[in-house]
Structure 1
Amino acid sequence: MTTSSTGTAGAQPVTSGFAVSERTAHLRAETALFMRDHVLSLVSHDLRGPLNAIHSWAYVLERKLDPNDPNSQRAVTGIRNGVDQQVKLLETIVDTTRAETRALALAYEPFPLHPLLDESAEEVRMGLARTRGVEIVMNSQLATEQLNGDRERLAAALWVMLTFAVEASAQGATTTLASRADATHWHAAVTYETSTALDDPALPHVLETFARKQAREPREANRIAWVLALCKRVAEAHGGSFEQQDASGSAQATLALRIPLSAQAAR
């Protein structure tokens, strides 16, 4: 098995009661950055609809009111000004802040996929899985397949997927990383059994507390847990996709990554 040369190097910061590698600390920080920008994007999107509706209804209300009543006209003007101020805040603060990861720069180069899986799995084993007593099993159908993309970004996406699965798993559970390639795409899927471990304060954790708590809340259709924002952003930047499927019945929960093998052509 190939292991990451940065997996144990450097200082050992303490996270949730146990030491993690410098590499893990870096990935944790990146995960938090993408999550912040994802939340800001949701706020910007979800607020614009109601604000536009308020603005439109203010014009409807204005036509119904007595134009000679200064109090009524002042009230309508105040509503429209308030909406305009909120939109300006979204544009100048929210949109500007999340611009850092909106246009994600990728360093394209061809690389073999199988070593990437080995390194990512071992990184999470050393960083959290062994401490939590969770086994990571590889189920790879890859041989010598290569992908033209940003190896470091895709490694980060795999790290988040595996770490989230381990965080959500009970002691003694197994998380599986399955991977294959067809004629045009690379597929990677992480499956795991959910438990109450995700936000159990008595257990060691790597991911942010509020992110783990939010991940246990009900999600709207087609939306992912905030903490998985990096996976989605990296996948889409490569012209691919990322999906989160919750457990249903006896089925396991799944995190799925789909990336074109010639990702640069999808930019």
Structure 2
Amino acid sequence: MQSVQEVSALIEQSAHDLRSSLNAIQSWAYVLDRAFDTAPAPAQRALDGIRAGMQQQLALIEEMEEGVRLLADEAAPRWHQVDLLDAIAQAIADRRPAADARGVLLSPVTTDGAGEAAYLVDGDAARLAPLLRHLLVHCIWRAPTGGTIAVKLLGEPDHVKLRITESPPLDQERSASRLAALTDFFGRRPPGADGAPPARQSTALLLTRRMVELHGAMLSAESDGCEKDKISVCIAVRFPRHIPRG
């Protein structure tokens, strides 16, 4: 418990220091914005970029705080029955402003129409909600301006499958590389025989993998699309309906 408190205090102080630096940048942006009655177009674009960058950094700081606290929390999971449809819908609502800020369309969740109570799973609510939010954050940050992110739930006999499709379609070579990198990362596979370092993944995806494993779920990478040069990459999570108790 003491180590968790120490980690929490450290991350809180680090976040405070990072925000203090951003406050100074924000103050200068405010001064420059009011130094012109009508700012020249290049200056206005620069100021818009500064403001957007500050908002992105603040979001990253918040995610870092939450991620470190979750990883340091060694408390046993508290299992409850959770409607995954409601949980992912709330995560989408929470992260829609971030998607809008990047010009990414985050579509409402769709289902396979399995019916009421078809998406109930055992979940640790305190960790499931961050898991879903951080997974969406990862996809939002990867998506280009004008891209879309589609979320779908599918009911299976012993699992509920969450599928998030990245967009726009990637070319075949990049799709294959992305699929291979995600497959190795999700499976915790060591680097290949050639000694090449593993592909870097976002902090959001690192946290997602840890929370998924804690839930006894399984992450996988899939392809979506019938045209070989227009394949979208999907991140899938299969949540078991019931966690063994005892």
> Aligned runs of 1:103-114 on 2, under 5 Å?
105-114=76-85
Which residue of the partner structure matches residue 178 of structure 1?
Answer: 152
CA deviation string 1:201-248 (max 9, x = no partner): xxxxxxxxxxxxxx98x8386225533122222222222211245787
Amino acid at match of 2:91: S
Q: CA RMSD in A?
A: 3.8
3-state DSSP of counterpart to 1:180: strand
Q: 1:195 to 1:249 in 2, by over 3 A?
A: closer
Q: Structure 1 CA distance, aligned partners of 2:75 and 2:155?
A: 24
- The corresponding residue for 2:166 is 192
Contact 2:134–2:208 at 8 Å: present in 1 too? Answer: yes
**What fraction of aligned residue pairs are identical, expressed as a percent?**
18
Q: List gaps (5 residues or longer) in structure 1.
A: 1-12, 38-99, 197-214
Measured after TM superposition, the shift of residue 146 of structure 1 is 1.8
Q: 1:246 to 1:176 in 2, by over 3 A?
A: same
Deviation at 1:193, TM superposition (A): 2.4
Structure 1 position 117 matched with structure 2 position 74 = no
2:212 is equivalent to residue 235 of structure 1? yes
Structure 1 residues 167 and 195: CA distance shift in structure 2, 3 A: farther
Q: Deviations over 1:3-39 (max 9, x none)?
A: xxxxxxxxxx66962447x9985434344678xx8xx
Find the aligned partners of 1:31 and 1:158 in 2 and give their Cα distance.
12
Write out aligned runs for 1:226-265 (5 A).
226-227=201-202, 228-245=205-222, 249-263=229-243, 265=244
Match of 1:222 among 180, 184, 206: 184
Amino acid at match of 1:226: Q
Q: Equivalent of 2:104, from 128, 134, 155?
A: 134
State the shift of 1:249 in Å.
3.4
Structure 1 letter corresponding to 2:106: I
Distance in 2, matches of 1:30 and 1:123, equals: 15
5 Å-filtered alignment, 1:136-155, equals 136-137=106-107, 138-140=109-111, 141=113, 143-144=116-117, 145-155=119-129
After superposition, the Cα gap between the structure-2 partners of 1:24 and 1:221, relative to the gap in structure 1 and judged at 3 Å, is closer
Correspondence for 1:167: 141
User: Helix, strand or coil: the match of 1:189?
Assistant: strand
Q: Structure 1 residues 161, 107: closer, same or farther in 2, change over 3 A?
A: same
User: Structure 1: how far apart are the matches of 2:68 and 2:52?
Assistant: 15
CA distance in 1, matches of 2:138, 2:99: 11
Q: 1:112 to 1:16 in 2, by over 3 A?
A: same
Q: What runs of 5+ residues in structure 2 fail to find an aligned partner? A: 1-18, 23-50, 171-176, 187-199
Letter in 1 for 2:131: A
Structure 1: distance between partners of 2:231 and 2:102: 23
- How far, CA to CA, are the matches of 2:85 and 2:182 in structure 1? 34
* TM-score, length-scaled by structure 2: 0.56
Name the counterpart of 2:195: none
